């Protein structure tokens, strides 16, 4: 199975973001002919004010980002793991940071809402308070991609191994992690966390990232980029540099089986 990870520099113009995502997907399809494509976290809208975020959130199904990715999946006959989209939640004052996945026919096959909220103070003193506007999910989600079981996670989830153990228990062969990692944390933690999650679950780890700067209120913030594919042995087999674009690689089920036969972690797990 061939995969392509889309790397973007999204901002607060939703129509422009959807157009950029669509153009990068079309480019990757022409040049690489992938079976499965992943977009970054909140590819449809980054930054802006709280009010603008809420205005940009959309209903599922039928919103502009949802519909655009569904149409592209159907048009090109590919799986699209649509990063995450700002989701309007009926009856709730918060919005969802939500992945939607489409199969080759454009059917929705999975939906995952980010569990862990990014409420931290960064090394540069910038404060992030995702829980003030985002509603966390509570479901561990996997789906079948033509014999490859894909587990869902988003960005800050990467720091919580129990979620990845739960995905492993549900049979994940590959884990998709759309992200918008900060520059400050990304340069020190991004790759090592991705490799750790791949090693401990013995899965392929595919992470599509935001790159570059965006404006949040009156602050200019920076994301790290470096979208990457890590194999089940923990080797980085593909990695993007800076700037929008994509990176492609292959998922080899035999590689998964070989690693798991050498170190059968799943068989050695004990209940604590």
- In this prediction, residue 248 has a pLDDT band, given cuts at 50, 70 and 90, of very high
d(CA 95, CA 45): 13
pLDDT, residue 272, reads: 82
> So what's the pLDDT on residue 128?
82
Question: pLDDT value at position 213?
Answer: 96
Measured from the Cβ of residue 37, the count of other Cβ atoms closer than 10 Å reads: 30
Query: Which two three-digit tokens encode residue 120?
Result: 């931290």
Q: Which two tokens stand for residue 212?
A: 């570059």
Which tokens hold the place of 205? 């780890």
Torsion 255-261-267-272 (CA) sign: negative
Nearest-angstrom CA–CA distance, 116 and 105: 31
Instruction: State yes or no: pLDDT of 126 exceeds 90.
Output: no
Cα 146 from chain centroid (whole Å) = 19
**Rounded CA gap, 177 and 106, in Å?**
21
Mean pLDDT for the chain? 96
Domain boundary assignment for the chain: 2-268
152 in active site: no
More confident residue, 126 or 182: 182
Q: Judge whether residue 220 has pLDDT over 80.
A: yes
Contact call for residues 224 and 209 (beta carbons, < 8 A):
yes
Beta bridge partners of 108: 102
- pLDDT value of position 119: 87
pLDDT beyond 80 at 122:
no
Name 145's bridge partners.
Answer: 148
Tell whether the model's pLDDT for residue 124 goes beyond 80: no
Range list of β-strands (E), 117-210? 119-121, 127-129, 142-145, 148-152, 174-176, 204-207
In tens, the pLDDT along 194-208 reads 999 999 999 999 999
User: What confidence tier does 176 reach under pLDDT thresholds 50, 70, 90?
Assistant: very high
Options 135, 155, 202, 206, the catalytic residue: 155
Q: What is the pLDDT of residue 240?
A: 97
**pLDDT value of position 147:** 97
Topology (CATH level 3) of domain 2-268: Nitrilase/N-carbamoyl-D-aminoacid amidohydrolase (3.60.110)
Q: How many other β-carbons are positioned within 10 Å of the β-carbon of residue 265? A: 14
Query: Residue 206's pLDDT is what?
Result: 98
Q: What is the mean pLDDT of residues 223-246?
A: 97
E strand or H helix that includes residue 36: strand 36-38
Phi, psi torsion values for 149, nearest 5 degrees: -85, 120
The pTM assigned to this predicted structure is: 0.96
Confirm if 66 and 107 have CB atoms less than 8 A apart: no
Phi, psi (rounded to 5 degrees) for 121: -110, 120
Q: Is 108 a catalytic residue?
A: no
Q: Looking at 38, 41, 87, 152, which residue is catalytic?
A: 41
Whether residue 57 is predicted with pLDDT greater than 90 in this model: the reply is yes
Q: Which of 114, 135, 202, 206 is catalytic?
A: 114
Structure tokens at 99: 């992945």
What is the per-residue pLDDT for 219?
87
pLDDT tens by residue, 62-81: 999 999 999 999 999 999 99
41 catalytic, yes or no?
yes
Judge whether residue 5 has pLDDT over 80.
Answer: yes
pLDDT at 125 over 90: no
The model's pLDDT over 18-41, given as tens digits with 9 standing for 90+, comes to 999 999 999 999 999 999 999 999
**Alpha-carbon separation of residue 228 from 96, 101, 130 (angstroms):** 25, 19, 24
pLDDT at 150: 98
């Amino acid at each position: 199975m061939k995969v392509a990870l889309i790397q973007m520099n999204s901002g607060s113009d939703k129509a422009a973001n959807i157009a950029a995502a669509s153009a990068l997907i079309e480019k990757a399809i022409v040049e690489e002919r992938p079976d499965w494509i992943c977009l970054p976290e909140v590819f449809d809208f980054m930054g802006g004010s709280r009010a603008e975020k809420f205005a940009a959130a959309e209903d599922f199904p039928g919103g502009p980002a949802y519909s655009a990715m569904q149409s592209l999946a159907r048009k090109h006959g590919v799986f699209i793991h649509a990063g995450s989209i700002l989701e309007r939640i009926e009856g709730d004052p918060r919005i969802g940071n939500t992945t939607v996945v489409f199969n080759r026919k454009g059917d929705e096959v999975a939906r995952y809402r980010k569990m862990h909220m990014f409420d931290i103070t960064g090394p540069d003193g910038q404060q992030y308070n995702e829980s003030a506007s985002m509603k966390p999910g509570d479901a561990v989600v996997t789906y079948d991609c033509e014999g490859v079981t894909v587990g869902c996670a988003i960005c800050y989830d990467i720091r919580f191994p129990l979620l990845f153990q739960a995905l492993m228990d549900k049979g994940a062969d590959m884990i998709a992690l759309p992200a918008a990692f900060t520059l400050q944390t990304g340069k020190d933690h991004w790759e090592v966390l991705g490799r750790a999650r791949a090693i401990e679950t013995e899965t392929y780890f595919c992470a599509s990232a935001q790159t570059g700067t965006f404006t949040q209120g009156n602050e200019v913030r920076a994301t790290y980029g470096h979208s990457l594919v890590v194999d089940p042995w923990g080797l980085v087999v593909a990695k993007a540099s800076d700037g929008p674009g994509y990176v492609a690689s292959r998922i080899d089920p035999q590689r998964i089986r070989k690693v798991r036969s050498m170190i059968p972690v799943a068989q050695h797990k004990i209940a604590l």
